[in-house]
Structure 1
């Protein structure tokens, strides 16, 4: 299907391409190549198999799977059935998996118990046997292990290959308005919320990203490293599909394996974190280690890698900052490829869709702010969620009356039709009446030898709100707290200087599809405890 003809729903998105170029590769996984015609055929058969298990329009199917062809096959099978695919983070463990399956009311859970890179079997073994009782069946991808955990022993287990042996489902329930995907937020203080998207929003965003990012260009190959259970990896792969181009599915996050696949498949684009690119550049020698990659989308998570885009550019790798979240989808905006590296390295950018709108609001008085004024970011556009599944209260709190999502992020308009992401609003420190991005303090501290990681939070003290920093040290080094504080006093305004700096072994974290998020509330509690002593 041409990108000039909008796809109303997910099924139309892939079936149109399969009609025009049936033998074009859709996915590459190991030595297997799955064409668009085969993708459609497998999805129709899997849809009939799921229907045999009682799945119909509006029912939920939990996909707890790595990046293998089974994931998109089951996703599109759900779209044809009008069912909702629930993305379950592959980093989640027993309690989290049981909670999501239960609260979503999933009828079927698909998983890969024998998968080599993630020990799904051990996780299933830790689930309470009755926690999955509401499931009608478990779809197992790959070989089933000889030892069956009690949690799934009583469940009806259906091999994925058996679904593919069923006849093709004739009826098509795919609609633009049909809910199709639930992504889980990675909240650090409460149970994940269920972000619900409709087929029209997913398909339309995929086509728009494909147009905007130039994915329809001949020879485009996308390396899908990021997990499909998160919007970052999901939207990259969907946009590549929408362009009728192949995605190489990467099921392992091992740097050596990623480097091998880059060498073998010569992708033109890939997406990932700053940490991933830094490790790849370290692992692969040469002046131009990745010559096939035209440009790569990246997210900056590690303040210690602030100069990575400059270093990458010196070796021919062009990195572009992005912005997205489950509620507005990933790849909502991107920094222009032809911009200076100083601009390109920042999160945010220009919205991908011409119908998207952004604004920045003063978090205290609600007034709209102008260029260069930090405030609360609000986003609108066709890629927005339908709402939080089963949580109307949270939806009303997040979506404004005129259809903007309150992102919870601190940002500023950039004067180029876009914005610059600064930090999470919950991470922002208000010190001496000023909004302070903790990254400023953290980056400054990480200039000191021996400090490899830093997180800064604010705590209320009798003399006002003060910053407290936690640092991780390189092996064999120690913290000279007085010297570190003196270093801050030399380079930062007085109100930004940490009251205390504590060395810890690791930061408290919670899993998310693209890595781990720091539990800053835990750090705040730790700071208060240590300040008592």
Structure 2
């Protein structure tokens, strides 16, 4: 049984919860809040980054100055409200550009570094960015040549030279930026496989970041180590802006390399860690017998499922509370566990709706709120919900209801204490190490292969990644296509994390009476198959 005061609150017979405390919203825009924090805490570190064997740092005063310089250069070339894309792995320049765009009234548009050229071309055509700042890709190669080829050379600048470019570019006037202005286009993917860009305002992202911090343990000299990519909502909102709202700091991690990233803990400045379960396990293994002396105040997990065993291991070895959260690109704050919740609640649920959230679990067919304990679709209304999908009015209308709710497409149940438990996904999304894999995109490509009669993607349970991707295939008559051949077939069409790690070939797929694939049966059978065929030591 949960132990917090809030968790003892009971709801009625229907799965509906209106969280308390949503009337204390920040009314600042990002520029106003940055200016205020720089004035009050100018000498305080805003971010750290590895520099040889040491950590370098940038203070709030230095960050505000660098951001203003970049903003004026941007304003001299781009009008307020236009989009500026960034295609790069994490870097200090990425952070400065995010703030520079905010000060110039521009809409930051991050591209996933794992995207293929075709995926980048789609995002570019959809959002028409005025400028594209390209940096370093996942393997350390420059993305500038690829960006120039896909987006047009005239619009592409090298992110690595951002501040040098800003120092010599003609300066423009900075606009007055409102909290209601668009701040971010956060890309997600739909069941059709086409990426959609969720438009989030300054008000939405700042309040979502603050609400996430409220569920954590924020203390003096707060410094967060979370290697999540900044092109994810967890990076651009919770890591970067999460530091701003409480005048704390974070460590910039360009690329997640377990030994190097976890070595940052040895500098003695990190007070909190976060990430997907894979990263947390690596941190525990790195700290070893010294874990209890690391001085970590909390561990946050989001974007993947985790086991009760892992929660208990964290609490036992680190002596720190664990927080599990649930959100979407379309709404960065929906639910969170409490630091005092028991291990079963943290591992088995995603907690309760956070302040400002009105959430219901509905029957997807009728829209009626279902009883407590019954499975339905999560819908939510809050200040954190997106405006809509950029350039996709029809798709926006499908998920934003007339009475102000966002249809998440996720299936869940709610218990009498408001705890939300996933029961499946309307959209069949697979969450692999924090990356969303939408089966329809890959299945459409597989359907075009001459050796395949039918194919479906499902998730395999995995302690480190949450889920891994499996492909279940019915071969076409006479076909002898193999798993490695299909892996190679997909390699240039989709990001690597979307490609199945396990291939299973079957004679037929289980179908419903209406001719639809019974995905939950395929998933269960494939997990059994994976367990039965797993080699010792895997």
Same fold flag (TM > 0.5): yes
Contact kept, 8 Å, 1:510 with 1:516, in 2: the verdict is no
Give the whole-Å Cα distance in 2 for the aligned partners of 1:386 and 1:91. Answer: 26
Query: CA 1:200 to 1:506, structure 2 compared with 1: closer, same or farther past 3 Å?
Result: farther
* Structure 2 unaligned regions, length at least 5: 1-22, 432-438, 440-455, 463-481, 512-538
Equivalent residue, structure 2, for 1:71: 94
The C-alpha deviation readout for 1:158-211, integer Å capped at 9, x for no partner, is 754221455875533311121110011034641200110111222222233333
CA RMSD of aligned residues (A): 3.7
State the TM-score, normalized to the length of structure 1.
Answer: 0.73
Equivalent residue, structure 2, for 1:132: 151
Give the whole-Å Cα distance in 1 for the aligned partners of 2:363 and 2:509. Answer: 33
**Secondary structure in structure 1 of the residue aligned to 2:195:** coil
Equivalent residue, structure 1, for 2:42: 22
Contact kept, 8 Å, 1:281 with 1:289, in 2: the verdict is no
Query: CA 1:91 to 1:381, structure 2 compared with 1: closer, same or farther past 3 Å?
Result: same
Contact kept, 8 Å, 1:188 with 1:519, in 2: the verdict is no
1:280 aligns with 2:303: no
Equivalent residue, structure 1, for 2:195: 192
**Secondary structure in structure 1 of the residue aligned to 2:84:** strand
Equivalent residue, structure 1, for 2:386: 385
**Secondary structure in structure 1 of the residue aligned to 2:58:** strand
Equivalent residue, structure 2, for 1:38: 62
Contact kept, 8 Å, 1:323 with 1:347, in 2: the verdict is no
Relative to structure 2, which stretch is displaced further, 218-227 or 392-401? 218-227
Equivalent residue, structure 2, for 1:409: 410
**Secondary structure in structure 2 of the residue aligned to 1:288:** helix
1:201 equivalent among 201, 204, 214? 204
How far residue 339 of structure 1 moved from its aligned partner, in angstroms, is 0.9
The C-alpha deviation readout for 1:467-496, integer Å capped at 9, x for no partner, is 9988799xxxxxxxxxxxxxxxxxxxxxxx
1:251 aligns with 2:254: yes
How many aligned positions are there? 437
Query: CA 1:401 to 1:182, structure 2 compared with 1: closer, same or farther past 3 Å?
Result: same
**Higher relative contact order, chain-length normalized (CA < 8 Å, sep 6+):** 2
Query: CA 1:357 to 1:518, structure 2 compared with 1: closer, same or farther past 3 Å?
Result: farther
How far residue 347 of structure 1 moved from its aligned partner, in angstroms, is 4.2
Contact kept, 8 Å, 2:363 with 2:376, in 1: the verdict is yes
Q: Counterparts in 2 of 1:124-523, with a 5 A limit? A: 125=145, 129=149, 131-133=150-152, 136-142=154-160, 159-165=162-168, 170-187=173-190, 189-215=192-218, 217-237=219-239, 238-286=241-289, 288=291, 291-299=294-302, 301=304, 307-316=309-318, 317-329=320-332, 331-353=333-355, 355-427=356-428, 516=497
Give the whole-Å Cα distance in 2 for the aligned partners of 1:507 and 1:356. Answer: 43
Equivalent residue, structure 2, for 1:51: 75
Contact kept, 8 Å, 2:217 with 2:298, in 1: the verdict is no
1:101 equivalent among 112, 124, 130? 124
Query: CA 1:171 to 1:366, structure 2 compared with 1: closer, same or farther past 3 Å?
Result: closer
Query: CA 1:472 to 1:375, structure 2 compared with 1: closer, same or farther past 3 Å?
Result: closer
How far residue 138 of structure 1 moved from its aligned partner, in angstroms, is 2.0
Contact kept, 8 Å, 2:81 with 2:182, in 1: the verdict is yes
Give the whole-Å Cα distance in 2 for the aligned partners of 1:50 and 1:164. Answer: 11
Equivalent residue, structure 2, for 1:84: 107
